[in-house]
Structure 1
Amino acid sequence: MVTATGSALARARKAAEEVTDPELPMLTLADLGVLRGVEIDPHGTVIASLTPTYSGCPAMAEMRAGVSQRLGAAGFDRVEIRTVLDPPWTTDWITAAGRRKLAEHHIAPPQAAPRSPGPVLVALSPSRQAVACPHCSCDDTEQLSQFSATSCRALLRCRSCLEPFEYFKEI
């Protein structure tokens, strides 16, 4: 049996926290709130827990591989990646640093996710919320497309500076 030291756990956590999102490489999985936890079991296996941003997220396989590779490069031979579905991921888990990084890359960060004690309601029409332009901060914007580079983002345009920008939709 291998006993995990505090320094080994800190090293494992640091390695996992540095993995970037394959679709938003300016964000780490920790920034995105996808990395739920890192622990070392009594046998010395590093267990990293990830929550997908939504069911069927195509980036999940790359996220798992990235965490596994980074932990291996940090000297951990035994790695297990677990998928945690409960509670489901929400854009509210994006850290303040993650929101700042999105804005710095001209992607408007999500607003607070709607809360419902029951089933999640799905809006079939475009959101009517005002989204501030990450270029000039004007909130007179219009949606050009409900989807952008990924299904998590929409394409908007500022009516003031006329610059297009992506908006990370709240979930």
Structure 2
Amino acid sequence: MSTVPSAAFVDAVMTVLATVPDPEIPVVSVVDLGIVRGVRAEPAAVLITPTYTGCPATLAIEASVRIALDQAGFAAVPVETVLSPPWSTDWITDQGRQRLLDYGIAPPPKGADSRSLRGEDFVACPRCASTDTVEVSRFGSTPCKALWRCRSCHEPFDRFKCH
């Protein structure tokens, strides 16, 4: 018997995990955020990477993934946290970026350069699309977001930090 998960098995597991919401941003799944890195073949496991090493939601994410796997009949599949390479905002899917935007959170650009990392790039307001915005604080409603304000519509908004 082969120890390599079949494509159908991997697809079934990933379909289950795509229903697991991020505990801090429930409109996106842990798959859309790129937290689920995939299913490893040998030894078989679901691999997850938190958005950063000290993420306070890591245990909640792991528990939610475990519950979803158990309820779907995948109780024998372990969940393993992998910290290297570290998570990157480039792992957020296009669907995840759109869901963040629709929810009012400015998503990070793909392939962010050093200006994005320092919060110096042009950020479009998720409400009115103006780029006349300013970072108010590097610390937003959760550790992975910064607080920004639009000078056009005067609304505050979160921006997912690039890393």
Q: TM-score range by the shorter chain?
A: 0.7 to 0.9
2:125 partner amino acid: C
C-alpha displacement at 1:2, in angstroms? 8.7
Alignment correspondent of 1:102: 100
What is the CA–CA distance in structure 1 between the aligned matches of 2:86 and 2:50, rounded to whole Å?
8
Could you say which structure has the larger radius of gyration?
Answer: 1
Unmatched segments (≥5 aa) in structure 2: none
C-alpha displacement at 1:76, in angstroms? 2.0
Contact 2:32-2:92 at 8 Å conserved across structures? yes
Residue in structure 1 matching 2:77, options 59, 76, 79: 79
What is the CA–CA distance in structure 2 between the aligned matches of 1:94 and 1:108, rounded to whole Å?
13
More displaced stretch, 154-163 vs 8-17: 8-17
Contact 2:55-2:143 at 8 Å conserved across structures? no
CA RMSD for the aligned pairs?
A: 2.2
1:63 partner amino acid: I
TM alignment of 1:1-171, pairs within 5 A: 6-39=7-40, 47-111=45-109, 112-114=111-113, 127-171=119-163
TM-score, with normalisation over the residues of structure 2? 0.87
Unmatched segments (≥5 aa) in structure 1: 116-121
Contact 1:136-1:161 at 8 Å conserved across structures? yes
TM-score, with normalisation over the residues of structure 1? 0.83
Deviations 1:64-108 (A, max 9, x none): 111110010001231311111222111011111111001101100
Gap change, CA 1:13 and 1:40, over 3 Å in 2: farther
What is the CA–CA distance in structure 2 between the aligned matches of 1:2 and 1:88, rounded to whole Å?
30
